[in-house]
Amino acid sequence: MKPPTAAQRRIIEAADPQTGRLSGTEAQLMALVRARLAFRHPRPPRAFFLTPAGHRVRDEGAAPAAAPEPAGPVPDSGVFAARTGTETSAPGSEGPPRAREVRGAWEGLVELRRMTNPDGSRDRPCAWERTHLVRAAALALEAAGRSPAAPGREGYRVTDTPQPEAVAVREPSPEGLRACAAALEQAGWQVGEHTGARGGDRYLLASPRRA
């Protein structure tokens, strides 16, 4: 496969970090499809998304000088980011506008599953989710209608763990924790409830299901 041109790399690097959605002219995006770096969603608005090969190109290009991925959405960036509940600033869009953003991101991720899972499965996490665990789990929770924590508001919090392919999910109420577990299981994650070593707080340990 020929390496992407400088112009193609710029389009790839500007892709939505959550879903891999691309922006560009029809000709530019179709060239990426022919290079197997992107695919086109079959349903309207028939947007273009990165394939796993496209994600690798973007990750490799960003690796030398990449800064740590921010915990929350970059203010005024115009780029969708799943809310992990660990953000320190007030959320941006709320209500119906946010719900539309989340729904679009989730639909894009489900389509990415169909395109990249060997069996075309939509109900099992794909490779992208395994390399973006916190974001993927947060998107699954928000898409299921769960509310992330925010300044002055309780809700779920998704954080990394030392364990490979596992995130921790915390929610202040037992009912909320159970609802988060149900949402993640519905989204194709394996979930177990645990008690913290300090303070005895209950939390979920969640991993993307492989089969």
Mean pLDDT by 10 residues, the chain (211 residues): 83 83 89 88 79 80 39 39 87 81 90 89 92 94 95 93 92 96 97 81 93 79
What is the rounded CA–CA span in Å between residue 51 and residue 70? 23
**C-alpha count within 13 angstroms, C-beta hemisphere, residue 124:** 11
What's residue 176's pLDDT? 96
Distance set, CA 78 to CA 27, 75, 85 (Å): 24, 8, 19
What's residue 78's pLDDT? 40
What's residue 64's pLDDT? 35
Cβ proximity of 92 and 73 under 8 Å: yes
Residue 28, token pair as written in the block: 């530019």
What's residue 72's pLDDT? 33
pTM of the predicted model over 0.75: no
Contacts (Cβ under 8 Å, ≥6 apart) of 207: 165, 166, 167, 189, 190
What's residue 79's pLDDT? 52
Residue 170 has φ and ψ, to the nearest 5°, of: -120, 145
What's residue 51's pLDDT? 82
